[in-house]
Amino acid sequence: MRIPFNKPHLSGRELEYITEVFENSTAGNGIYTKKCHTFFSEKFKFKKSLLTTSCTDALEMTALLIDIQPGDEVIIPSYTFVSSALAYVRQGAKIVFADSRADQPNIDENKIEALITSKTKAIVVVHYAGVACEMDTIMDIAKRHNIYVIEDAAQAINSYYKGRPLGSIGDCGAYSFHETKNIQCGEGGLLIINNDKFLDRAEILWEKGTNRAAFYRGEVDKYGWVDTGSSFLPSDITAAFLFSQLEMLDEITKVRLSIWDTYYDRLKRFQDSGLIKLPLIPEYSSNNAHMFYLLFKNTEKRQEFIDALKEKECLSVFHYLSLHKSEFYKSKHDGRKLENCDYYADCLVRLPMYFKLYGEELEYLLEQVENILESM
């Protein structure tokens, strides 16, 4: 039986909603874009959210909003996707990479303060696997040093820190709806604005530097070029696709959680015997089951596992390579060793996780995983 790593979920109503868009207008900021925005303000009480063409785009908007200038420093975990750093690098920032925690891949909140200098403009946190970073500590550091906090919540829809939705705690947050995420529309993203001072400007950057949104609300009698910006907004076709998935958000989360719990229950004995470690969810965080991973003792053991599982036609995959060692950034990195980050880069492997992973498929996969771990 072939088990892929991911099968992008389809709600079944995508085409129906897209057809409705065709009968109106397919341009951005149309009926379904508004429906998505309303969904986020109702479900998560976001002050303002703007659909974007990707999470990368939403992060680029945050770099413009916090006005990153050449020479500014931004603290970012090294164990993350390129996009978390890219937006700020494009504006000329120097990236100061932070290490992960020893017990899970999120940024180590206790190692941030030592990295702050007079040039530090922002801390970008990444809620890896939808698990919350220790936000109280991070927000306190940021407040004392007067720096911004951006949440890369690409994987974190429907997950919470002490009851607060991820993405709603820092100055801005960003979601991804890439087809590998819990909720998807192929390519898509969301910018969440929490800091009042960015509310109006975000809308202008989003609409190519114009005050078009204010014009359509009747707040100004003509619209024109008032600021920098880009075409960050997606077509309403994308929004219609996305809305059909958002309607299923709680159901999707529930199904993924049951897969996650099954993995955990069945594989816990291998953690108890010391062969592997399973994901740790701190008590301050909820779990949206974006990912289920195993941690091996070294990279050879991990490769042995991936290869053995592949022989049974099941795909498991490792994840990020440390950004501070990347071809693009290693010569610009200050040389600090980031041991925990390297450990996750070398030893973490992700198991298949998708909405339709159940019944025979899940059972077959679990049996293969158990057999391989028993033989290791």
Ligand X SMILES: *Cc1c(COP(=O)(O)O)cnc(C)c1O
80 binds ligand X (CB under 6 A): yes
126 binds ligand X (CB under 6 A): yes
Closest separation between CB of residue 68 and ligand X, Å? 17
Backbone φ and ψ for 274, nearest 5 degrees, come out as 90, 5
Counting other chains too, the contacts that 197-200 makes at CB distance below 8 Å and 24 or more residues apart are: 198/65, 198/171, 198/172, 199/47, 199/48
Q: Which of 284, 274, 278, 253 is nearest to 264 (CA)?
A: 278
Q: Which of 310, 321, 274, 313 is nearest to 294 (CA)?
A: 274
The H-assigned helical ranges of the chain are 14-23, 31-43, 55-65, 83-90, 135-145, 199-206, 212-216, 236-246, 249-272, 299-311, 339-347, 359-375
- Exactly one of 176, 210, 238, 244 binds ligand X (CB under 6 A); that residue is 176
159 binds ligand X (CB under 6 A): no
Structure token digits, residue 360: 């025979």
- Exactly one of 65, 68, 138, 154 binds ligand X (CB under 6 A); that residue is 154
Closest separation between CB of residue 218 and ligand X, Å? 33
83 binds ligand X (CB under 6 A): yes
Q: What is the DSSP string of 167-208?
A: TSSSSEEEEE--TTSSS--SS-EEEEE-SGGGHHHHHHHHBT
- Exactly one of 11, 33, 49, 54 binds ligand X (CB under 6 A); that residue is 54
Please identify, among the stretches 38-46, 77-85, 231-239, 297-305, the one whose residues bind ligand X according to the rule CB under 6 A. 77-85
Closest separation between CB of residue 214 and ligand X, Å? 27
- Exactly one of 49, 155, 286, 322 binds ligand X (CB under 6 A); that residue is 155
Please identify, among the stretches 8-16, 80-88, 116-124, 265-273, the one whose residues bind ligand X according to the rule CB under 6 A. 80-88
Size of residue set near ligand X by CB under 6 A: 14
Q: For the chain, what's the residue count?
A: 376
182 binds ligand X (CB under 6 A): no
Closest separation between CB of residue 174 and ligand X, Å? 7
Site residues, ligand X (CB under 6 A): 54-56, 80-81, 83-84, 126, 152, 154-155, 176, 178, 189
